[in-house]
């Protein structure tokens, strides 16, 4: 498979994991930036264990996942009890703090980063198996009582409380899951590019993911499957003769889409209409097939 297409798909998978990780707490009204610092921790742990300690990749994935999720869990304990702005700001601040700590931590290479991470054969299928798995998990959560509870939390916190939604518990659960997804994204990033620097997991990645999330439509989980491939493809395959204008085109695209369609490409209403149409079609077919009187 062409190396550039393989790289494109691997990074796309990583972006999708991050996008869903941001999406979940967002359904509950929280803007939690934990996936990013968990990504950093996961990436560095995986890199360190495979390159310097020499463990096999499977072991590295498990160790990184456990460590980063644990840290994500601890931070979510604090953040689940706070609201919107505070969670957003504090977790954003934490991204910078983690980056600064990594840059000063000589054991893991400080600002040089870690390079030469051993190759993981079969990375692409692994990434997509995990993506599909996570997609199923997110889908199940959305369409279960958890999803409804999250929706309630987002709309009106007090109402949710009176209805018996335990906000801290639910928030912590969702944020920890998001942290785990971020950790996996980090591990896969380390194995894909095989070279990591702390600045890779910093504010600019946050902005990129946010742009993809909002353009895709932040109220459904499917929007990111449209925006991520397109926005990432632009960066990569913009015609070389006008490469100077890549960023200007990208920025203009962001602006124009948000003006034309502020709710994102795939909006809640669009999905509801689609599902309603599918449901009505299946309702028309069913009685015909299942009528026993004939």
Partner 1 sequence: MKKSIKVTKLISLVLLVSLLITVIMAGCSSKPATPPAPATTPPPSTAPAPQPATPAANPVAVKEWVLPTLAVQTGPIAFAGLPFHWASDYAAAEINAAGGIRGVPLKLTHFDSGFPDTTKSAAVASKAIPGALLINGPMIYPEVAAMSQLIIDAKIANINAADDPMFLDQMKPYGIAQLQSYPKGATIGGLKWLELNPNMKNVAIFYDATQPELVESVKVVTAAFAKKNVKVTPCETVGADQFDFAATVLKAIQGQCDGFYSFLLDFQSAGVAKELVNRGKKTGPNYLMVYASNGPALFTTGKGFVEDSYLWDDFNVAATNPEWKKFLEDYAKQFQGQVPTESAISGYDAVYAFKVAIETLGITGDPAKLAAERKMIVDFLYNSPELPGIEKTYKYKNVNGEKIAPYYLVQIKNNAFVNVATMPNVKP
Partner 2 sequence: MENFIAQLISGLANGSVYALIVVGMTLLFLARGVVHFGFAYIVVTTAYLGWVVLKVTHNNLLISIPAFIIIGIILTLVTEPLFRPLAQKRAFLETLALGQGIAIILTDVCSQFINFGQNVAFPAELTAGGARLSFGIIYFTLADVYVFIGSVVVVLILLYFMYRRKQGKAIRAMAQDLDIARSLGIPFNKTGIIGFTIAGILAGVSAILIAMTLEVASPSLGNSFATKALVLMLFAGMGNLTGVMVCALGIGVVEALTQSFLPGRWNDAIIFGTVMIVILLRPNGVFGTKS
Enumerate binding residues for partner 2 (CB under 8 A): 31, 78, 82-83, 85-86, 88-90, 92-94, 96-97, 99-101, 103-104, 203, 207, 210-211, 213-215, 218, 244-245, 247-248, 250-255, 258-260, 262-264
Convert residues 8-27 into a mask of x (bound to partner 1 by CB under 8 A) and - (unbound): x--x----------------
Convert residues 169-198 into a mask of x (bound to partner 1 by CB under 8 A) and - (unbound): ------------------------xxx-x-
CB of 31 to partner 2, least distance (A): 7
**Length of the chain, in residues:** 294
How far apart (Å, rounded) are the C-alpha atoms in residues 22 and 19?
5
Looking at the Cβ atoms of 34 and 113, the one nearer to partner 1 is: 113
Looking at the Cβ atoms of 81 and 119, the one nearer to partner 2 is: 81
Q: Is residue 4 a contact point for partner 1 (CB under 8 A)? A: yes
Cβ pair 19, 216 in contact under 8 A: yes
Compute CA 29 distance to the chain's CA centroid, rounded to the nearest angstrom. Answer: 16
CB of 251 to partner 2, least distance (A): 3
Convert residues 199-238 into a mask of x (bound to partner 1 by CB under 8 A) and - (unbound): xx---x---x--------------------------xx-x
How far apart (Å, rounded) are the C-alpha atoms in residues 22 and 85?
15
| Number of residues binding to partner 1, judged by CB under 8 A | 44
Pinpoint the alpha helices (H) of the chain. 3-27, 34-47, 57-79, 84-104, 123-142, 145-155, 157-162, 167-193, 203-216, 224-237, 246-260, 268-290
Convert residues 132-171 into a mask of x (bound to partner 1 by CB under 8 A) and - (unbound): ----------------------------------------
How far apart (Å, rounded) are the C-alpha atoms in residues 75 and 93?
12
Site for partner 1 in 239-258 (CB under 8 A): 239-247, 249, 252-253, 255-257
CB of 244 to partner 2, least distance (A): 6
Looking at the Cβ atoms of 82 and 194, the one nearer to partner 2 is: 82
User: Closest Cα partner for 121 from 27, 58, 59?
Assistant: 58
**CA torsion through residues 127, 129, 132, 133, sign:** negative
User: Closest Cα partner for 14 from 240, 262, 229, 160?
Assistant: 229
How open is the CA angle 153-155-159, to the nearest 5 degrees? 65
Encoding tokens for residue 201?
A: 């997991």
- Our CA dihedral for 207, 208, 210, 216, rounded to 10 degrees, sits at 160
Q: Is residue 105 a contact point for partner 1 (CB under 8 A)? A: no
Out of partner 2, partner 1, none, what residue 218 binds, judged by CB under 5 to 8 A for its kind, is partner 2
User: Closest Cα partner for 213 from 8, 41, 24?
Assistant: 24
CB of 189 to partner 2, least distance (A): 21
Binding site residues, partner 1, CB under 8 A = 2-4, 6-8, 11, 103, 110-113, 115-117, 119, 193-195, 197, 199-200, 204, 208, 235-236, 238-247, 249, 252-253, 255-257, 259-260
């Amino acid at each position: 498979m062409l190396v550039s297409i393989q790289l494109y798909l691997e990074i796309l998978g990583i972006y999708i994991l991050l996008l869903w990780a941001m999406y979940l707490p967002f359904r509950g009204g929280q803007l939690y930036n934990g996936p990013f610092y968990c990504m950093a921790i996961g990436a560095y742990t995986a890199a360190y264990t495979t390159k310097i300690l020499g463990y096999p990749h499977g072991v590295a994935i498990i160790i990184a996942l456990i460590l980063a999720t644990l840290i994500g869990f601890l931070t979510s304990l604090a953040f689940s009890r706070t609201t919107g702005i505070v969670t957003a700001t504090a977790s954003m601040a934490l991204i910078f703090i983690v980056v600064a700590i990594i840059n000063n931590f000589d054991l893991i290479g400080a600002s040089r980063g870690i390079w030469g991470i051993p190759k993981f054969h079969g990375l692409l299928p692994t990434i997509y198996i995990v993506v599909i798995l996570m997609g199923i998990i997110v889908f199940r959560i959305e369409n279960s009582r958890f999803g409804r509870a999250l929706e309630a939390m987002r709309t009106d916190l007090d109402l949710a409380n009176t209805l018996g939604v335990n906000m801290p518990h639910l928030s912590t659960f969702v944020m920890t899951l998001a942290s785990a997804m971020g950790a996996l994204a980090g591990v896969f990033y380390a194995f894909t590019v095989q070279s990591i620097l702390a600045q890779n997991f910093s504010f600019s990645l946050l902005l990129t993911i946010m742009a993809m999330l909002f353009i895709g439509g932040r109220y459904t989980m499917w929007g990111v499957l449209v925006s991520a491939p397109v926005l990432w493809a632009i960066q990569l395959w913009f015609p070389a003769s006008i490469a100077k204008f890549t960023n200007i085109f990208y920025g203009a695209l962001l602006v124009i889409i948000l003006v034309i369609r502020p709710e994102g490409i795939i909006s809640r209403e669009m999905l509801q209409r689609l599902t309603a149409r599918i449901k009505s079609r299946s309702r028309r077919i069913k009685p015909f097939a299942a009528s026993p009187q004939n």
